[in-house]
């Protein structure tokens, strides 16, 4: 059971609050209400929460003179001072796949250079034709392609399964 002793500490526009244990979650976002909600959830589960009110503060914390070690980052991907998606991709050691920021073929060009791949969901992209167009455009931009789902039925997942030969990752586990 996690240690429930609480501590609070401020560092360059960032605040640490929660259980004093080794698991540290950095919460980055410009919306103070969203940050507080995530912080409350993280501390409720026994983790230390470290918050930053924007990208610059988070980067200073992670990459500054005295970098802070964190185990996980919860990142608002759209902030005025940071391209969150681009920063995650630049520093991640594993592929970053765009999920909710890529729903149709029109979303792909803006993601080039910011992510390693896209996740296609039939229910959001306009069906099989939309998905095939997304695969072609993603491949033209040298992006990985994942086919996923939300809570589709087995029938809908069967349709999506027909897209699997040319893709890199398949996650059809909705129903």
* Contact by Cβ (8 Å): 96, 77: no
Indicate the range of 13-22, 68-77, 98-107 predicted with least confidence.
13-22
What pLDDT digit, counting tens, does each position of 10-36 carry?
A: 444 444 454 344 588 888 888 899 889
Percentage of the chain beyond pLDDT 70 is 84
CA-based nearest residue to 125, from 117, 113, 133: 133
CA-based nearest residue to 110, from 135, 138, 82: 138
């Amino acid at each position: 059971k996690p240690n429930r002793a609480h501590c609070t500490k401020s560092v360059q526009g960032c605040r640490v609050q929660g259980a004093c244990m080794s698991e540290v979650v950095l919460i980055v976002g410009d919306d103070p209400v969203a940050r507080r909600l995530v912080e409350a959830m993280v501390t409720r589960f026994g983790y230390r929460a470290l918050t930053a009110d924007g990208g610059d503060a988070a980067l200073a914390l992670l990459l500054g003179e005295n970098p802070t070690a964190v185990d996980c980052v919860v990142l608002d991907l759209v902030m005025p001072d940071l391209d969150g998606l681009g920063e995650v991709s630049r520093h991640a050691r594993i592929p970053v796949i765009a999920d909710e920021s890529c729903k149709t073929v029109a979303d792909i060009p803006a993601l080039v250079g910011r992510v390693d791949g896209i996740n296609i969901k039939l229910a959001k992209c306009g069906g099989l034709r939309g998905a095939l167009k997304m695969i072609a455009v993603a491949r033209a931009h040298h992006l990985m392609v994942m086919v996923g789902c939300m809570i589709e039925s087995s029938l809908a997942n069967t349709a999506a399964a027909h897209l699997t030969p040319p893709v890199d990752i398949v996650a059809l586990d909705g129903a």
